[in-house]
Structure 1
Amino acid sequence: MKNLKLIIPAIAVLFGACSQNQTNNNKNVVADTTSKVSSDSIQSDSLFAKMYINETAKKGSPVLLKFTVINSADSAKSFCKWHTAFEPFISKYLDITDSNGNEVAYIGAMAKRIVPPPADSYLSVKAKDSISAEVDLLKAYDLKSGNKYYVSYNGSNISGVSAPKKLSFSFEE
């Protein structure tokens, strides 16, 4: 029972840690300054993500997913890059299922994290701007050719960024 009293607060701190807004001047991320966001976009004071993937992927080629974080606010916003495409696959932040509803096995690394996240775990997005990163799904998921797949983002609780749209693609020979 004592352990339960310690575990519950630790879990609460872990889930809340990355959603705090902090400023970071990380030089390792290339900003996509060509894609300005209109003020009509989804929510005016929050960060949100859009994911893009080709409708058809060929066996032998990378299966690239583009993850773009958009700031529709009038001021710069920050988010935790953990559980996003802005770091290598070291956690399962995507849910991928096949056309039968079976979950695709995650074969990537699983990292243990320190809490609270250090300052270099945050990325900043300028007002009305966006930043993007790409990941190859084949590096972390056991995709089989001849199947149709559905991809959704599940890292919102850690990163503080939501990506509500579910994507689909076919993986062909």
Structure 2
Amino acid sequence: MKNYKILLSAAALALASCGAGNSNSGNADSTANNADSTVQQDAPKTIYATMQIADTVKMGEPVNLKFTVYNPADTASKFLKWHTPFEPPLSKYVDVKGENGQEANYKGAMAKRMMPPPADSYIKLAPGDSTSATVDLAKTYAIEKPGKYTVVYNSAGVSGLTVKDSVSFMYVK
């Protein structure tokens, strides 16, 4: 019975100390919301990329995708060029889909990589700087039929770059 009282006292003390650091414990929702808004306002500006493509591309002509990386931060930043147009086509880093949802087959090379990436696999961007690369998707994807195609970047987990929006183009005769 004596051990039970000690255990109960210790549990009560532990539970009481959980709220000790929160001087506004009666208004937890307000505190959480304030913390969330502070984090959002103070969130660091991170490196990101955008894609551009012509609205209309004639069959047989290059399907040029311009990929631009921006560093809006106040400090230099770097990204891994693997799975981006900044290296020769060695991976399927975009999904190209027709309007029917059918994915255009990737016909390029697929590289196996050594980990961790060597230092020369990164591209460094100065604060406020950007860099661009253009790739012809027709060389690595089987874009053969006329129609509307959508391009989505799928390799943020490798390169560290986020691309918020997809791009679309009409492939015409």
Bin of the TM-score, shorter chain as denominator length: 0.7 to 0.9
* Same amino acid, percent of matched pairs: 49
Distance in 1 (CA, whole Å) between partners of 2:44 and 2:63 is 32
8 Å contact from structure 2 (residues 152, 165) kept in 1: yes
Partners of 1:164 and 1:96 in 2: CA distance: 16
Q: CA deviation at 1:44?
A: 4.5
Q: How many residues align?
A: 131
Aligned equivalents of 2:88, 2:147: Cα separation in 1:
25
User: Helix, strand or coil: the match of 1:138?
Assistant: helix
Aligned match of 1:38: none
Q: CA RMSD in A?
A: 1.0
How many Å separate the matches in 2 of 1:110 and 1:139? Answer: 14
Match of 2:79 in 1: 79
Helix, strand or coil: the match of 2:158? helix
Which position in structure 2 is the counterpart of 1:57? 57
SS state of the match for residue 103, structure 1?
coil
C-alpha distance in structure 1 between counterparts of 2:125 and 2:166, whole Å? 23
Equivalent residue for 2:113? 113
CA distance in 2, matches of 1:119, 1:103: 34
Structure with more contact order per residue of length (Cα contacts < 8 Å, sep ≥ 6): 1
Equivalent-residue separation in structure 1 for 2:136 and 2:44 (angstroms): 31
- TM-score, normalised on structure 2? 0.74
For 1:66-98, what per-residue CA distance to the aligned partner results, in whole angstroms no more than 9, with x for missing partners? 000000100110000000010111100001110
Correspondence 1:88-167 to 2 at 5 A: 88-167=88-167
| Equivalent AA in structure 2 for residue 107 of structure 1 | K
3-state SS of paired residue (1:120): helix
Moved over 3 A (4+): none
Letter in 1 for 2:164: P
* SS, match of residue 109 in structure 2: coil
Task: Give the secondary-structure state (helix, strand or coil) at the position aligned to 1:165.
Answer: coil
TM-score scaled to structure 1, two decimals? 0.74
Q: For the pair shown, which has the larger CA radius of gyration, 1 or 2?
A: 2
Letter in 1 for 2:46: S
Name the counterpart of 2:67. 67
8 Å Cα contact 1:44-1:72 kept in structure 2: no
The question of 1:169 aligning with 2:172 is answered no
